[in-house]
Amino acid sequence: MSDLDLLVVGAGPTGLAIGAEARQANLQFLIADRGAVTQALLDFPTNMTFFTTRDLLEIAGMPFSVPDDKPNRQQALVYYRGVATRYDLPFALHEEMLSARADGAGFVVSSRGDDGRERLRRTRAVALATGYFGQARRLGVPGEDLPWVRGRYLEPYGHFGEHVVVVGGGNSAAEVALELWRNGSRVTLVHRGAAVKPTVKYWVKPDIENRLAAGQIDSRMESRVVAFADHQVELETPRGRESLTADCVYVLIGYTPDAELLRRFGVHVDPVTLIPDHDPSTCESNTPGVYVAGTLQSGRDTGKIFIENSRDHGGRIVQHLLGRLRRPLETVR
C-alpha cells in the first residue's frame, strides 16, 4: 500500500492543474480517474468548439498555442495531454473510487480497476476534482434505458436520413439539433420551455431560432416526454398527448455532480443545491484533509464555475496542504 501526500480524484483540467502544483511542490501524489485523462472532453461532441477563449483554458503556466481564438475539442485534448507530459504527472486510470476511511494522520482510500481488483492507498490528503460531466441528467420516465435513447452525442454521420428527436433547450441541444440537420437528419426539438434558453451561445441562438422559424427543424415547445417505447416518443404537449416515431433520441438536459462520491469522502453536501461544504479560500471541506476543487464546488449550478475561474484551485490546495504537512494533521472527524 503506497504512501502519498495527495491523492487527486479526477483527471480533467482541474485535476491536472492540481497535479502540476503538487509536482512543483515536490509532493508524493497520484491522479486517479474512473476513465481516461480528460474523459469529459472525450465525451464531448467530436466537432465541438469551446465557448471560452484559449488563454482562459490554459493551466499550469503552459501556453495554449493554437491559431484559433476559441479552440476545438481536438486542440484541447492535445493541449491537456501536453500539460500531463510536461509535468510528468502520474496516473491511475480506469479506477472507481469506492470508499475512504480515516487512518491516523490521513486516509486509506479503496478503489477498483477495470480488471476487478481492489486497490488500497494511504494518503495524507485527497483533492476531489471530478467535475459534473460524468452523470447526465435523466428524465425519469419509462423506457429511458432503451438503447436508442441516448444521453451523450458525438457526431451526426450515423444518423443520415433518420428522424432524430433532441430533448432539451440549452447549448448542447441547440448545437446538436443544428449539426444533425446540416448532415441530413430530420430533427425534432422537444423542450419544456416556450423557446430555447436565453443562455444559448450568442452565435448559436439566432441560428437555431431561424431554423425553427423556417420549419427546417421541427419543434414541440412547452412539451415534455412522458415515456419511450418501440421507437415512439410519448409527449405531453399544449394540445394534449402526442406520439412521435423516431430512429434515435438524444436527451441533452444537462449534468449533475457526483454527490455520492463526495459523501463517501466525508464531505457534507446540501441535499437541495448539492453544494459541498467547503472553504472557498482553501478549497478544504468540512473533513480536514479533503479538498473540493473545480466545478464540483458549485453543485447543481454547473454554469457557475468553469476552467477559467477555478485554475487557481490547485495553488490554493497545495499551499494549504503544505502548511498542514509541516504539522500533524488533525484527527479526521
Q: What is the DSSP string of 128-171?
A: E---STTSB-----TTTTSTTEES----SGGGTT-EEEEE-SSH
Beta bridge partners of 54: none
| Rounded Cα–Cα distance for residues 44 and 269 (Å) | 27
- Reduce the DSSP state of residue 263 to 3 states and report it: helix
Which tens digits make up the pLDDT trace of 42-62? 998 999 888 888 998 999 999
Q: What is the pLDDT of residue 134?
A: 73
Count of CA atoms in the C-beta half-sphere (13 A) of 133: 21
Cα distance between residue 274 and residue 34, in whole Å: 21
Strand partners, 244: 233
Exposed, middle or buried, 50 (CB in 10 Å: 0-12/13-18/19+)?
buried
Q: What is the 8-class DSSP label of residue 125?
A: E
Instruction: Look at residue 311 in the predicted model and tell me its pLDDT.
Output: 85
Predicted pLDDT at 2: 61
Instruction: Please provide the size of the chain in residues.
Output: 333
Contact 64, 57 (CB under 8 A): yes
Helix and strand numbers (H, E) in the chain are: 7, 15
Joined together, the cell numbers standing for residue 303 give 454554469
pLDDT at 31: 98
pLDDT of residue 85: 98
pTM of the entire predicted model? 0.89
Over the stretch 201-233, which tens digit does the pLDDT of each residue have?
899 999 999 999 999 999 999 999 999 999 999
The 149-150 sheet, strands edge to edge: 149-150, 248-251, 163-167, 186-191, 218-221
Of 269, 13, 257, 10, nearest to 136 by C-alpha is 257
Q: State the Cα–Cα distance between residues 282 and 264, nearest whole angstrom.
A: 21
What stretches in the chain show pLDDT beneath 70?
1-2, 327-333
Query: For residue 303, how many C-alpha atoms fall within 13 Å in the half-sphere facing its CB?
Result: 7
Measured CA to CA, the distance from residue 98 to residue 54 in angstroms comes to 35
Dihedrals φ, ψ of 71, to 5°? -70, 160
**Angle, to 10 degrees, between the axis of helix 171-182 and the axis of helix 205-213?**
60
